Structure formats: structure tokens, C-alpha cells
Amino acid sequence: MRCALFDLDNTLLAGDSDLLWAELLAEHDAIELERIRAFHADYHAGTLDIEAFFRVQLAPLASEPRARLERWRTEFLERCLRPLLTPAARALVERHRQRGDVLAIVTATNRFIAEPAARELGIAHLLATEPRERDGRFTGEVEGEPCYRAGKVRHVDAWLRSRGLTRGVDVETWFYSDSHNDLPLLEAVDHPCAVDPCPRLRAHALRAGWPLLSLASERTRFATGT
């Protein structure tokens, strides 16, 4: 079996859904935007406290009525997500689909935010950070381990085991990502690919001989060392 795994933010999306969601919530006075921006600076620096981030980011899910959250999420899809799904990103997904590969998004972004993008792309499998729910309401906590850094590898392996499969034995894997934070999963798959990579990932990819790919533009461009 072949399996194509995709990071979401700044990979399939030409932008960051976590930050865009926070900007929308800030318009509704539901979150402190500067705190989220500070967390994102830490993410890019490789110093993010992921538990502290989710305590802040998931708090509005727990404090706002579910109907209001759903309205905001619909607005989020139309205003923010659809414009950032470039033709090149859609074409890459479709190429893997036409080959018969199993497709999955693997993202640290929480499921409530990431689900609309997965549906828009027709990707049935979404491995994401899970917001805990009790009696139909979010609690503001994470269920299990965040799907972040080495946690992505564990999420992928658990998902494959649930299908009776083992990475590296039954499955040939691809993974596309923009971030050095995803190096654990990039190094664990058969075919890593750096997509519009951050400087640290670009340098690593060039040393390792990984393909470089751009999805942010209208056309897909491959490079091997330029």
C-alpha cells in the first residue's frame, strides 16, 4: 500500500490556519491575538511550549456555545481556508489520489479547525490534535498527545496499526511539510519532501538530498538543489 501524508499549515495551505483562526476569533473578542502571535514566533524558533499554546488556543472552544463556534467555522472556511488552497496543492493531492494512494493530513492544528480543509480537499483521514469533548461540549483540554513533532510519528503509527499495517513493512510512505518541527516524521517516511520550506528545513533537505517543492504559487515547481 502507498500512503501520502500531508502537513496542513504552510504546506497544503498557503498560510497558517491556527493564526488565521485566532485573527477571526479576535474580531469577535474571543481570544487575545498577541498571545497567539507570540506562540507562533516560538513555533518557528523551535521553542514552542505546546501545552501552554493549547491552553490558550482551546479556551474559546470551551467558553463559546457550539452553535456560535460552528458559525465562525463556516465563516473561517469561506474567508480564510478556501482562498489558501492553491491549484498546485489541489493538483498534488489529486495526483496521489489518482495513483490510488491512501491520503491523510497530519497536523498539529486541532481537529475543529483542520476538518474544513480536509473536507474541502476530499481527504478522509485527518490526524490532528484532538480537543477533548464531554457531553457535546469542548473542555479546553487536549485528548491524548498533541499531534506535534515526534507525536506526529506516534499518531501515524497508531493510525496504521488500527488498519493492520506497519510503517516500513506494509506501507510505502510520502510526507510533505514546510517546517523543521516536522523533521521526526520526515525522517521516518520513505519519501520526505520539503514544501516551501522554512530556512532550517531547506538546509536540512539540501544536505539530505530531499526534493524541494513549491505549492504556494499557481504552478508546482520541483527543485533538487537550487
pTM as predicted:
0.94
User: Residue 185 maps to which CATH number?
Assistant: 3.40.50.1000
Q: Is 170 a catalytic residue?
A: no
Q: Is 7 a catalytic residue?
A: yes
As for how many domains the chain has, the answer is 1
**pLDDT recorded at residue 87:** 94
Residues 27-81: tens digit of each pLDDT: 999 999 999 999 999 999 999 999 999 999 999 999 999 999 999 999 999 999 9
**Which one is catalytic: 9, 16, 18, 101?**
9
The CA distance from 197 to 179, in Å, is 6
In DSSP notation, 58-90 reads: SHHHHHS-HHHHHHHHHHHIIIIIGGGB-HHHH
Q: Sorting pLDDT into bands at 50, 70 and 90, what band is 225?
A: very low
Structural domain containing residue 216: 2-223
Q: Sorting pLDDT into bands at 50, 70 and 90, what band is 217?
A: low
**Which one is catalytic: 7, 18, 178, 196?**
7
In the DSSP assignment, the letter for residue 30 is -
Kindly give the residue spans of alpha helices, DSSP state H, lying in the chain.
17-27, 33-45, 50-57, 59-63, 66-76, 87-98, 111-121, 150-162, 183-188, 199-208
Residues 68-125: tens digit of each pLDDT: 999 999 999 999 999 999 999 999 999 999 999 999 999 999 999 999 999 999 999 9
Kindly tell me the burial class for residue 184, based on how many C-beta atoms sit within 10 Å of its own C-beta (0-12, 13-18, 19 or more).
middle
